[in-house]
Every structure is written in C-alpha cells, then in structure tokens.
A and B are shown apart, each in its own frame.
Chain A
Amino acid sequence: MKLKVFYDRENREKTVELGNNATIKDLLKKMGINPVTVIVSKNDDVILEDQKLKDKDDIKIISVISGG
C-alpha cells in the first residue's frame, strides 16, 4: 500500500510504500524515526504503534520533543 504521511518536524508530506498488514511501527521503522520521539495520529485520533494501516489513511507524525 501507498500512504501519504505528514511529519511535522520536517514540515512536509511524504509518500511511503509499505506491505499489506503493515503497522505504525513498520512505518516509523521505514522512515527511520524513533517511536519514543513521536506520537502518531490517524484521521485526527492518536493511535498506538501496533495499529494496522490501511490504504488512504491520513497519517500525521507529531514530534514530542520540546523546541528549546
């Protein structure tokens, strides 16, 4: 499946290709993001790393680190 993912820290949308049944954890791994440093929202709900993804899910990756 192909997903459009917005990562706030980089302020851009990326297209990521993943196998069927992929989870948030797989997505973060593919993008090289440490799960400790982000929360993930799907259609404006916060979701956990073990959640499975579907085509066309609206995914936002939100950085938890303080800005300084």
Chain B
Amino acid sequence: MNCCSNKPVIGLIAGEKLCKAHFIEYFESKVFKTIRQFDLIGKEEHLGVALSGGKDSLTLLHLLSKLSKQNPKIKLTAIAINEGIHGYRDKTLAAAEKFCKKNSVPLHIYSYEEEFGMPLDNMLKALDVKPCTICGIFRRYLLNKKSRELGFTKLATGHNLDDEAQSIVMNEFKNNVQASARLGPKAGINSNKKFVQRIKPLYLCTEKEVTVYAFVNGLLDNFNECPNVAKSYRAQVRDMLNNFENENPGTKYAIINSFLQILPDLKKRFKGEQADYCKSCGEPAAKDKCNACIFAERLEKAKLRAV
C-alpha cells in the first residue's frame, strides 16, 4: 500500500510504503508523539544533547533544534565525549562540530585523556578489560557529571529502537534485571539528586528509519565504525536480532512493546538503588566507590607498574 503516487523511500513493518515527504512527516510526528506520550520534555528546559557525530545523535539534534525554534523556553546545548579512539572518534567529532557551528548550537567536548589521564586506546593497552565496558563506564560518568555542571535539566541521547531492543536482550541474557530497570524512554536513576535524567526521543524509531531520515535530510556522513565494536557482546546480540528480524519482521517492535508493559513494575522494584554517593569523587554510586573511580585506580596502578 503506497501513501501517494510519489516514489516510496521506505516500507514500514505494517506494510505501508511511504514517499520522502510522507516519511518525513511520519518520522517527525512519531518522535514528537514519543516526547508527549512519555513526558520527556517540559515547557521550560535546558536540554543537553549527547552528540557522537553519528547519524542518530545528529538526527536527534536536528529535530530538537526544530522544537527549540518553536519553543524559545527550550534551550539546547550539545555535549560530546572524545574517548580517544584513533581513526574513529576524531572523524565523527568533526561532523559534530560542523553541525553545531552551522546550527549555532553551543558544543562542549570532554576527553578521557584530560579527565582520566589517557585516551581509551592507551587504557586498553594498560588493562585487560573489554573495551566497551570501560568505555561505557567512563562515558556515562562524564556525561552525567558534566551535564549537571553545565546546568542541564535533562540529557537527550540518540538511542533508537534497535539500541534499546539490544540492551533489553543483553540484560536478559546476562540475568541483569536491575540494569533493565534503568532503561526506557526516560532512563536512569531517579532516586539520586546528582543524577541528570536521560531521555530518548528516538525510542520508537528503528535504526533503518533513522538512517533514511538522516539520508533524505543530508545528515548522513561516511560510514564510520569503532574498531572495538566487532568484539562486543552488543554486536553479537545486534546481528542475532537483525537475522531474526529478517525472518520474523516485527520482532524488535515486540521486544520494545512487551518491555514497556513491564517497565513500570521494574522501576518500582529497583526504586531505591544507587541512591548513594562515591566516597572518593562524590558522584552517584551503588557502593562506596563508583565504577569510574574503581577503573581509574586500576589505571593508576597499571601506570605505576609500567614505569
């Protein structure tokens, strides 16, 4: 079934084929509906937008810029993390900088090298850890701390439906229900005052939809992939889900929809978690020390051993 006589650019799971203009309308109204349905953005906000320079975060910033132009009480500031991944992040950050300049959005960049003493590439030489584990811990730490220091009322991230479906299945496979309680369109730990609420406006958009939207709006840069991603557990789950989706269309939507039904119960059950603060840095923590400080200490020890 076609939307009109114009050439279609995408086929939806439900069978409908949309032309460029109708797809843009469909995509934007889906995102704005997600924002309303889950109450992601209030009347007055200073939103941080986590920018990686990839298609998801650029699409997010593009849409939030539209929103902010219509609502002057919604202020936007972009924040980016330079992990220090040679040949990868330097390229995506260049795209992020270009976009922010063109759209007059202020951008703050923080690097692992400045904040933790060395780039991720070197951390991986110093410690025998899974790249995405340490990378993710430091990124979440910095994003939260800097978002709070910059005065953001919320932090918007470009996570899409595919990312979320992967996270749900990963937590399931690792028997990590507590981590799933932190997912959802409004993510994170509410019980902690130092925690900046994270929101995911692209929550109900598939990766394919985001790519088509980015393509037709000229937001798509050359393909760029982190050299560490192939080794990750997430990539395994992603490939498995995509193969399954190909055989059984609608699987990823089903994962999200069933998850949304149990999410309120999960949030209730783990309400009091991570209400504490790290004894060494003061940031939110589940135990005496936050994960970032634990890894920073391990790095320090590895450095001492090396000299």
Using Cβ atoms and an 8 Å threshold, which residues of chain A touch B226?
67-68
* Inter-subunit contact A46/B10 (CB<8 Å): yes
Distance (whole angstroms) from the CB of B297 to the closest CB of chain A: 26
Report the contact-size class of chain A (Cβ under 8 Å from the partner).
20 to 34
Using Cβ atoms and an 8 Å threshold, which residues of chain A touch B211?
39, 62, 64
Distance (whole angstroms) from the CB of B235 to the closest CB of chain A: 9
A37-B245 Cα distance, complex, nearest whole Å? 10
Kindly name the residue among A9, A35, A67 whose own CB sees the greatest number of chain B CB atoms within 10 A.
A67
Give B221-251 as 1s and 0s: 1 = Cβ < 8 Å from A's Cβ atoms.
Answer: 0111110110010000010001101100000
Using Cβ atoms and an 8 Å threshold, which residues of chain B touch A9?
223, 225
Tell me if B88 counts as interface (CB < 8 A to partner A).
yes
Tell me the residues in window 59-88 of chain B with beta carbons closer than 8 Å to chain A beta carbons.
88
Distance (whole angstroms) from the CB of B132 to the closest CB of chain A: 8
Tell me if B33 counts as interface (CB < 8 A to partner A).
no
Give A23-37 as 1s and 0s: 1 = Cβ < 8 Å from B's Cβ atoms.
Answer: 000000000001111
Report the interface size for chain B: residues with CB under 8 A from the other chain.
Answer: 38
Tell me the residues in window 1-16 of chain A with beta carbons closer than 8 Å to chain B beta carbons.
8-9, 11
Give B2-15 as 1s and 0s: 1 = Cβ < 8 Å from A's Cβ atoms.
Answer: 00000111110000
Using Cβ atoms and an 8 Å threshold, which residues of chain A touch B220?
62
Distance (whole angstroms) from the CB of B196 to the closest CB of chain A: 22
Known contacts A46-B216, A62-B215; is-contact A68 B208 (Cβ 8 Å)? no
Known contacts A11-B223, A67-B226, A68-B226; is-contact A46 B11 (Cβ 8 Å)? no
Interface Cβ pair total, 8 Å cutoff: 73
Question: B55: nearest residue on chain A (CB-CB)?
Answer: A66
A64-B55 Cα distance, complex, nearest whole Å? 9
Known contacts A8-B223, A46-B216, A67-B92; is-contact A36 B246 (Cβ 8 Å)? yes
Using Cβ atoms and an 8 Å threshold, which residues of chain B touch A34?
242-243, 246
Tell me if B54 counts as interface (CB < 8 A to partner A).
yes
Distance (whole angstroms) from the CB of A13 to the closest CB of chain B: 14
Using Cβ atoms and an 8 Å threshold, which residues of chain A touch B7?
45, 47
* Inter-subunit contact B229/A68 (CB<8 Å): yes
A36-B208 Cα distance, complex, nearest whole Å? 7
Distance (whole angstroms) from the CB of A60 to the closest CB of chain B: 10
* Inter-subunit contact B224/A66 (CB<8 Å): no
* Inter-subunit contact A48/B11 (CB<8 Å): yes
* Inter-subunit contact A67/B9 (CB<8 Å): no
* Inter-subunit contact B54/A67 (CB<8 Å): yes
Using Cβ atoms and an 8 Å threshold, which residues of chain A touch B54?
66-67
Question: B7: nearest residue on chain A (CB-CB)?
Answer: A45
Which 3 pairs show the lowest CB-CB distances between chains A and B? A68-B226, A8-B223, A68-B229
Q: A66-B54, A67-B225 are in contact. List 4 more A-B contacts (CB 8 A).
A: A64-B211, A66-B56, A67-B92, A68-B132
A-B contact pairs, 13 of them (CB 8 A): A9-B223, A34-B242, A36-B243, A36-B245, A37-B242, A41-B215, A45-B9, A46-B9, A48-B9, A48-B11, A63-B223, A66-B162, A67-B223
Q: Interface residues, chain B, CB within 8 Å of chain A?
A: 7-11, 17, 20, 52, 54-56, 88, 92, 132, 160, 162-163, 207-208, 210-212, 215-216, 220, 222-226, 228-229, 232, 238, 242-243, 245-246
